[in-house]
Chains A and B, each alone.
Chain A
Amino acid sequence: MTWWDDVLADPVIREKVPQATLETLQMVGVASLLTLVLGLPLGVLLHTTSAGGLTPQRAVSAVTGFVVNIGRSLPFVILMIAVLPFTRWVVGTTLGWQAAVVPLTLGAVPFFARLVESALREVSPGKVEAARVMGSTRRKILGSVLVREALPAIVAAATVTVIALVSFSAMAGVIGGGGLGALAISYGYQRFNTPVMIACVVLILVVVQAVQIVGDALTRRLDHR
């Protein structure tokens, strides 16, 4: 019983851990929101402009594909440092969870866009053809056939993306973003405060599990196959 009381009495656990948890949630929350908002249209663009898409556009497809691939192939640590000037220009600083949102979003958008693209590709072309024969406009086909039919897969992709963001957020924390990852490293690794490290790891695990459970439940609700 005594070690448990000691752990709870530790000021780092009492004050820093809750604050770091909040930072992680804010960082991941805002980055996730931005990623979904920016990545969905980008994924749709990748699919519709491709050869078998609704409005094939070779040049647009090639350029977007190339840009997305750059974003996908850059290791996150490098991306984070490379975009520092951009981060300062957008947020005004390179420190704090707000600043971490910028590289997190830039790293996750191409990842999510590719997942959205492949989810859309899984929608059978027969459904699109049927809608065209019924006189549907391309816009309606995009919304009510392609995106709607791919929605369970898109939600599953969003779940994977948000979980990836949680893990990247630990890395972003290291260069000044704060959050549970940064706390785990500075107290647990550099100051040998094992209880803090364990607390951080457990909390990250809880966040990941929660995202997965919510994502799975949503996917199941949407999927009628």
Chain B
Amino acid sequence: MPPAHIELAALRKVYPARGGDVVALDGIDLAVARGAIHGIVGRSGAGKSTLIRCLTVLERPTSGTVTVDGEVLSDLSEARLRSARRRIGMVFQHVNLLDSRTIAANVAYPLEVAGMPRERRAARVAELLELVGLAGRGDAYPAQLSGGQKQRVGIARALATEPAVLLCDEPTSALDSATTRQILGLIRDLRDRLGITVLIITHEMAVVREICDSVSLLEHGRVVETGPVGDVVAVYGSRLARELIPVPELPLDDARSLVEVAYTTDDVATQDVLGAVAALGDGVEIAAGTIETLAGRRVGRLQLDVPAGDVDAALTRLRAAGVHAEVTR
């Protein structure tokens, strides 16, 4: 594995509060390889935003280290941090463009901060707007753009100082699904062309499925599951596998037992799984199922409706056929 480009080691963040401290991050270890797109998922309050704020050291970690592009950011003084942050581009859920500035002036802002002379800024801004597909829109104001276009401006601005890493905090949560796909496509395209490392925080599994190479699940400030997307989907029964390959929900009032079957075609062909299910006999039915291709792997999950008395026998026979099987209800 190449050396990590973003590395968090034993990262802790505690917010002092009346009636007990809030441990927002509780010992995070995370390594993202150069050029990878890594997703961080987790429920509301899991610590995702805190993690990204610690990564940019907008929030000082309570303990632990943050290393980006070979530099230990968590040790730097505020003044040194200001220049170190130029190697980090950040994209926000609400974009956070300045309404008083034109698109071009928004994209120029980080260049101004970095002290680039005015004559060179205009050329760089034109280049960036071209990169995100907004060439010629520089004179418009943010209010005149659609949500997706605004996020493109946000991305152009984040890339202005040629950062080594791009951090995205819920970049598509405010967008519809078609626009989401466009923005995600753009991010992947930029990674391919510029070789930047991307960390993307999201609560939408669709984002992970669409563009992430690897993913971590955050819960109560800890990384509870992590790995390349192709690997985590093969960890049957894990939360990431279940959420990345969702099966349509079944009505709760159904009294029969459900047996869940999961497999990848690396181990067993779909036809053989269906054959094994058919061999269980007449009383067993497929109630819901998903078969899809993700991160180059074909994976499947089925919910079997099994008469209560036959569950144990069904589990044994399915496992003998080489598939993962467990009772889920």
Contacts and interface: CB of A to CB of B under 8 A. Distances in A.
A124 B143 CA distance: 15
Contacts of A131: 109, 113
B54 to A, nearest CB: 13
Contacts of A152: 100
A203 B143 CA distance: 40
Bin chain B's interface residue count.
Answer: 20 to 34
B69 to A, nearest CB: 15
Contacts of B161: 134
A124 B86 contact: no
Interface in A106-160: 124, 126-127, 129-137, 140, 144-145, 148-149, 151-152
A58 interface: no
Contact of A149 (B82, B98, B110, B157): B98
A145 B157 CA distance: 15
A225 B85 contact: no
Contacts of A135: 81-83, 85-86, 110, 113-114
A191 interface: no
B99 A149 contact: yes
Interface centre among B85, B90, B113 (most CB of A within 10 A): B113
A137 B86 CA distance: 13
**Which interface residue of A129, A135, A136, A151 has the most chain B CB atoms within 10 A?**
A135
A222 B98 CA distance: 13
Contacts of B85: 132-135
A207 B90 CA distance: 49
Tell me which of B81, B94, B98 has the highest count of chain A C-beta atoms within 10 A of its own C-beta.
B98
A70 B97 CA distance: 38
Most buried by B among A151, A152, A225: A225
B96 A149 contact: no
The winner among A130, A131, A145 for most chain B CB atoms within 10 A is A130
Contacts of B83: 135
Nearest to A125: B96
A205 to B, nearest CB: 33
Contact of A133 (B90, B100, B141): B90
Contacts of B101: 148
B113 A129 contact: no
Interface string B119-141: 00000000000000000000001
Contacts of A145: 98
A152 B100 CA distance: 9
Given A134-B85, A134-B109, A224-B141, A126 B100 contact: no
Interface string B65-90: 00000000000000001110110101
A129 B96 contact: yes
Given A130-B92, A137-B82, A224 B143 contact: yes
A130 B98 CA distance: 10
A126 B85 CA distance: 17
A127 to B, nearest CB: 5
**A-B pairs, 9 with minimum CB distance:** A130-B96, A126-B96, A224-B141, A134-B110, A135-B82, A135-B85, A133-B90, A225-B99, A127-B96
Interface of B: 56, 58, 81-83, 85-86, 88, 90, 92, 94, 96-101, 109-110, 113-114, 141-143, 157, 161
13 contacts: A129-B92, A130-B92, A130-B96, A131-B109, A133-B90, A135-B81, A135-B82, A135-B85, A136-B109, A149-B98, A152-B100, A224-B99, A224-B100
